[in-house]
Structure 1
Amino acid sequence: MTRSTEIREAVERYAKAWAAGDMAGIVACYGEDFTLHYAGANALSGDHVGKAQALAVLAEFAKRTGRRLVRIVDVLAGTERGVVIAHEALGPPDARVEVERVLVYRVDAGLFAECWVHDQDQSLIDRLVGKA
């Protein structure tokens, strides 16, 4: 298997699980030493090291933002990184906003090793999550 095939299979497996709401499938995509890199100036910004810590931060993000996947826009893979472009709805029920988010993954042994999250509107994310 080529490196780009390994990466493509990892991001496609994740995107399929996410679209299906398969939490066990989503969690299985992350390696134990996974690191999440969250940009911005909010309470969740920074580097979150370890699968358990990163998943806890992702759960807190969902709680604070009411995050809901609208659709997977695209899945891309190269020889070094995989990318999922997701269209998501965020915010309280009476003020939902839809945005695109770009999730860039480094894959090691078929599992996610790192992720860098790039948001269409970082200031919106910062407001929804809140300050540290």
Structure 2
Amino acid sequence: MAAQGEIHAVVRRYADAWVANDLKAIFDCYHDEVVFHYFGRSPLAGTHRGKPACLALLKQVRERTQRQLIEIKDVLAGEQFGLIVAVERFERDGQATQLERLLRYRVRDGKLSECWIYDEDQRLVDEYWA
């Protein structure tokens, strides 16, 4: 298990890469065995395992919603998890919305190994991802 300082450093590195839109640095932050947990009832909901599957999922999200980071509000770390509080913009069919998202991470081997995504309005996200 990673220590709190390591967790914060890894999550902060990821947040900085996200803000800079540095795709190589973003992808490098993910563990090869990363697992994403997406909630809701959309076709993208579920548990996605392995870096290739998770990167394919992120590509689908971007294609469906023209996802854009607006701001990172905070990066936090505790004894077991790191957390990013982010505001993102989704657009689809001429409709756009901003929502706050909480991304909770587990860190292993200096990389993000597991992620749970909690959306401010899950019903709205499901509509955008349908």
Using the size of structure 2 for normalisation, the TM-score is 0.96
Shift of 1:115: 0.2
Residue in structure 2 matched with residue 123 of structure 1 by the alignment:
123
Shift of 1:94: 3.3
Moved over 4 A (4+): none
Query: Aligned partners of 1:90, 1:19: CA distance in 2, in Å?
Result: 16
Q: Where do 1:80-119 residues align within 5 Å? A: 80-92=80-92, 94-119=94-119
Shift of 1:109: 1.4
Shift of 1:93: 7.2
1:28-56 CA distances to partner (integer Å, 9 max, x unpaired)? Answer: 00000000000000010000000110111
Q: How well do the aligned residues superpose, as a CA RMSD in angstroms?
A: 1.1
CA contact (8 A) 2:64 2:92 kept: no
Does residue 54 of structure 1 match 2:54? yes
Question: Percent identity over the alignment?
Answer: 40
1:36-92 CA distances to partner (integer Å, 9 max, x unpaired)? Answer: 000000010000000110111011011111100001110000110000111001123
Residue in structure 1 matched with residue 64 of structure 2 by the alignment:
64
More off after superposition, 30-39 vs 85-94: 85-94
Count of residues in correspondence between the two structures: 129
Q: Where do 1:31-46 residues align within 5 Å? A: 31-46=31-46
Shift of 1:9: 0.4
Name the SS of the counterpart of 2:42 in structure 1. Answer: coil
Query: Aligned partners of 1:95, 1:129: CA distance in 2, in Å?
Result: 13
Query: Aligned partners of 2:8, 2:18: CA distance in 1, in Å?
Result: 15
- 2:109 alignment partner AA: A
